A and B are shown apart, each in its own frame.
Chain A
Amino acid sequence: MPTDYQRSMRGMGGDLNQRRRTSLWERMHLDPWLLLLLLIVLGCGLIVLYSASGQDIDFTLRQASRQALALGVMIGLAQLSPGTLYRWAPVVYGGGFLMLVAVEVLGDVGMGAQRWLVIPGVVRFQPSELMKLAMPMMVACWLGQRPLPPRWRDLAVCAVIIVAPVLLIARQPDLGTSLLVASAGVFVILLAGLSWKLIAFFGALLASAMPLLWMVMHDYQRRRVLTFLNPESDPLGSGWNIIQSKTAIGSGGIFGKGYTLGTQSQLEFLPERHTDFIVAVIGEELGLIGMSFFLALYVLIVLRGLVMANNGQDSFARLTGGAIILTFFVYVFVNIGMVSGILPVVGVPLPLVSYGGTSSVTLLAGFGILMSIHTHRRLLSR
């Protein structure tokens, strides 16, 4: 294992000059801009959630406390140096992979998919969530020590690192998560400088593999795709969700129907309105203006994240940070895309807004890593 990080860790206590030059934020290992943007999204998200839950204050507070916990996780992770993350990456990845195998063997079936690992009385846990972070770290960890752009041999290893857990997750079946996990891994390779020709080649390969994908898909997944292509074919069945969410968004217009006044959401025509389809609530009640506001926030977060990733002290840090932030954007794009009817319905929540603890913890943990990468850069002696 390389020792660059260890050296830098050792030097951390000694170099007082450098420390004096760092701001309070840097000493807390937090990025104020990103934190501000995140807090705005989280706050606005809670406001939307209050409306989406049918003005259920307890429900909203419960989510608020989860978000607070997730913020704690973020701050905690930000304190770890990239070196620590680098050393732990293979361990976390390996552990996550083993747990995915365990889920495959003895997982708990919830909502028709086998996703949960349950230690009775202690915790219900989705190993696939862990994979969302472990994947980019592991791929970056592998490529980080190699000369870049990556060579064929490295790419082959990366392919194995990516494909093995993704297949396990896809088998659960959880198409949305496997997509996110795979994209996290792929982003690392792309950011590492995979040649454009090869990107084109793999893109073509992927496109030609689509029919194959169709063959291994579950019935309900195929149905979703078909429904996406023609939602009116089954307006009361699987097309219902998409018709109702489009109706909600479209009827919102420019200014929206007003906060808590959305008829589609408040009268329960909109399914899963506080989870995956919460965007429709925003679109209906706050209109195009509210949607643009959220979209702008997300884009700013992504741009800020990319800037922060560029400040990473080495390839591992940069690649991990870049992949995490781009995956975050995939979340946003896939969620809004599916709710507004330009992508098929896959179970991807709107990051930081949709109800649910696990996804927030994972996402904010990712931002914690990003902050760690960003704030530990100047401690590098090299």
Chain B
Amino acid sequence: MRQRRATIKNPQQEVRIFRLRSIVAASLVLVLACCLLARLFFLQVVEHDIYTTRSDKNRVRVEPLPPTRGLIYDRNGRLLAENRPNYNLTIVRERAVDLETTLERLVEILDLPPDEIEDFKERSRQRQRPYQPALLMSELSQEQIARLAVNRYRLPGVEVEAQLLRYYPDAKPLSHTLGYVGRINQAELKTLDKGNYSGTHFIGKTGIERFYEEQLHGQAGLRKVETNARGRVLRELSRTDPVPGKDLTLTVDRGLQDLAYRLLKGRRGAIVAIEPKTGEILAMASVPGFNSNEFVTGISVKSYRALRTDLDLPLFNRAIRGQYPPASTVKPFMSLAGLENGAITTSTTFFDPGYFQLPNDSHKYRNWLRWGHGRVNMRRGIAVSNDTYFYNVAYRLGIDRISEYMHKFGFGEQTALDVQGALPGLMPSKEWKRNRYNKPWYPGETISIGIGQGYWLATPLQLAAAEATLANRGKQVQPHLAKRIGDDAVLLPESDQKPPIVLDNPAWWDDVISALEDVVSGREGTARKYVGPGLKYRMAGKSGTAQVFTLGQDQKYNGKELAERLRDHALFAAFAPVEDPEIAVSVVIENGQGGSSVAGPMARAVTDYWLLPRIEPAARDTALALVEALKPPPEPLDSEGEQGESNAD
């Protein structure tokens, strides 16, 4: 080019150069245009599907339509759990222009107490999907809603949302049995069916609410909506309606449940009542209770701590998780075990000098009556709750035969069908002890088992279930809480039904049951003074007093001197009417001291409430009057009767 470079202008050459360059430029333009075209072809033809999907994902949002939770009724159709409209305060952070200022304004408008403000701000920070409202507060009052409405223009992104919230109209008596729903937590989120729960905020946490979660929850629906970039819904593209949860009818009778709760009020304990024919749980109360409504919206840290640290353990469901030594309430079962295994006959007698001794052992296993009951047969042994007699029975049976037989009655077994979190109690055996403690079984331990002490533990529910089997003369039923789900009756699958207990001699059932009747109304019955008077039907029952505090050898139990929490547990298990049992009941009162004197009348109140109206319709008042009479826990106990009954070591 250097040689061609002119020092003067050469128009022809300039035109030529320009033309050449123009052609090069035009070719380049065409090439680049083709590049663009190729790129567009790539995007619009080759990758078209990818971008179509992406574009649809942008605009189409699937919104879950949460189903309405099923209601819960008692056996008579009285409402136990309902859904109430509730107003929530939510904020869409993306729409709040200045989050901090908005929050400060909200605090001011709602007049929040200082300790809630941090909580409130914390909740606003929880990260969710963009344009998803974050919950700031639930249960807004009408006044708060009005105040928010007035100030709405100052609060961009803030909205009041209506929502159905679980409500338990009479929470405390049923708090443990019904359980409660609460906000879904992180752990639950992992195991849940995300599709079905995507619009649901609450899940059953305990009790019936948890066990029947699937049925109560229902099936979520969904709708596809088209939204714009700011998340605003423009139109609905398609919709599948949710299937509401099924209503649940429980076997529980709310009246009886209330009665049981009121009987126990001011104490710690549990009452379980079962219909022996069906296994339907008529009442299952654990006291103290708590207000389950507090858990629905999220209980405050303070209230929760108060519940957790309360010595009376209000959150503890004693009816199914309280494991107590069943004490003398096991004596009828021990008798049956003895009869069935040939260890005793109905006429076998033992002499009771006030204690029992193993051969070659000086240790005295004492009867609760220090001077003994003299010569005792089975019927009297049960009626007077003679300990020595059952020490002998246990000694003759040996632990493994006892254990095996008691398992038939559900001791150490999971008896309940649909009770969330029920514990199996403990029915010890040689093998169990070896596994648990790596120690041999000592003969002395068998002796304590004879009177339902030692390692033996049972829950009030198990006790009631065993009593129901007894009432049924061996027919086994499984306790359950659900009567109907929706309109369908809950039917137990045949395979789940336990085979009936068949005795070699069916007359033994009545032998044992009449002994139990003697306990309540016999001349020597331990409960005759407390349970027997004015009885209008035939009732069979057995008291028990379980030792909490171990006395030294030859020490005498003195309830007044012992600290309240070291006193004996009072138990009573009963059923009625004897000839055609309609109710079996177990009462356990922690540190209640007198099985007959304290737990007995409560069992009687329950059976009265249930049976009297069937005998004479106006009699329910009598039962309620009895409750009133029982109300103040009699502090200085009449320590007569069967104190120290369970002095076994």
A contact residues vs B (CB 8 Å cutoff): 145-149, 151, 190-193, 195, 197, 244, 246-254, 263-264, 267-269, 283, 287-288, 291-292, 295, 298-299, 302-303, 306, 309-310, 314-315, 318-319, 322, 326, 329, 333, 336-337, 340-342
**Is residue B303 contacting chain A, with contact meaning CB distance below 8 A?**
no
Chain A residue with minimal CB distance to B26? Answer: A306
CA distance A192 to B25 in the complex (A): 12
Closest chain B CB from A4 CB (angstroms): 11
Instruction: Pick the contact of A340: B7, B29, B36, B54 (CB < 8 A).
Output: B36
Closest chain B CB from A154 CB (angstroms): 11
Contacts of A267 in B (CB 8 A): 58-59, 226-229, 234
Contacts of B55 in A (CB 8 A): 247-248, 250-251, 263-264, 269
Closest chain A CB from B135 CB (angstroms): 23
Interface size on B, residues (CB 8 A): 48
CA distance A195 to B40 in the complex (A): 34
Check A292 against B37 for contact (C-beta < 8 Å): yes
Chain A residue with minimal CB distance to B48? Answer: A253
Secondary structure dominating the interface of B: helix
CA distance A333 to B50 in the complex (A): 25
Q: Which 7 A-B pairs have the closest CB atoms?
A: A250-B51, A251-B55, A193-B17, A268-B229, A267-B228, A195-B1, A250-B43
CA distance A310 to B17 in the complex (A): 10
Closest chain A CB from B534 CB (angstroms): 78
Chain B residue with minimal CB distance to A195? Answer: B1
Contacts of A319 in B (CB 8 A): 18
Check B44 against A269 for contact (C-beta < 8 Å): no
Check B59 against A250 for contact (C-beta < 8 Å): no
Check A246 against B59 for contact (C-beta < 8 Å): no
CA distance A197 to B1 in the complex (A): 9
A147-B10, A288-B44, A295-B36 in contact; A315/B30 too (CB < 8 A)?
A: no
Check B22 against A306 for contact (C-beta < 8 Å): yes
CA distance A313 to B262 in the complex (A): 112
Check B29 against A302 for contact (C-beta < 8 Å): yes
Chain B residue with minimal CB distance to A191? Answer: B21
**Is residue B8 contacting chain A, with contact meaning CB distance below 8 A?**
yes
Contacts of B29 in A (CB 8 A): 299, 302-303, 326, 329
Chain A residue with minimal CB distance to B47? Answer: A250
Contacts of B15 in A (CB 8 A): 310, 318
Check B21 against A322 for contact (C-beta < 8 Å): yes
Instruction: Pick the contact of B5: A147, A249, A287, A329 (CB < 8 A).
Output: A147
CA distance A146 to B17 in the complex (A): 14
A263-B58, A315-B18, A322-B25 in contact; A254/B45 too (CB < 8 A)?
A: yes
Closest chain A CB from B29 CB (angstroms): 5
Closest chain A CB from B1 CB (angstroms): 4
Contacts of A299 in B (CB 8 A): 29-30, 33
Check A337 against B36 for contact (C-beta < 8 Å): yes
Contacts of A287 in B (CB 8 A): 44
Contacts of A337 in B (CB 8 A): 36, 39
Check A149 against B21 for contact (C-beta < 8 Å): no
CA distance A288 to B51 in the complex (A): 14
Check B48 against A148 for contact (C-beta < 8 Å): no
Check A249 against B51 for contact (C-beta < 8 Å): yes
Check A253 against B17 for contact (C-beta < 8 Å): no
Contacts of A151 in B (CB 8 A): 5
Check B229 against A251 for contact (C-beta < 8 Å): no
A147-B10, A250-B50, A263-B58 in contact; A291/B25 too (CB < 8 A)?
A: no
Contacts of A252 in B (CB 8 A): 44
CA distance A151 to B22 in the complex (A): 20
Contacts of B14 in A (CB 8 A): 148, 193, 315, 318
A148-B14, A283-B44 in contact; A251/B37 too (CB < 8 A)?
A: no
Closest chain B CB from A194 CB (angstroms): 9
| 11 A-B contacts (beta carbon < 8 Å) | A146-B9, A147-B5, A148-B17, A249-B51, A253-B44, A267-B229, A295-B40, A309-B22, A310-B19, A329-B29, A337-B36
**Is residue B302 contacting chain A, with contact meaning CB distance below 8 A?**
no
**Is residue B32 contacting chain A, with contact meaning CB distance below 8 A?**
yes
Contact code string B282-297 (vs A, CB < 8 Å = 1, else 0): 0000000000000000
Instruction: Pick the contact of B48: A193, A250, A295, A340 (CB < 8 A).
Output: A250
CA distance A194 to B39 in the complex (A): 31
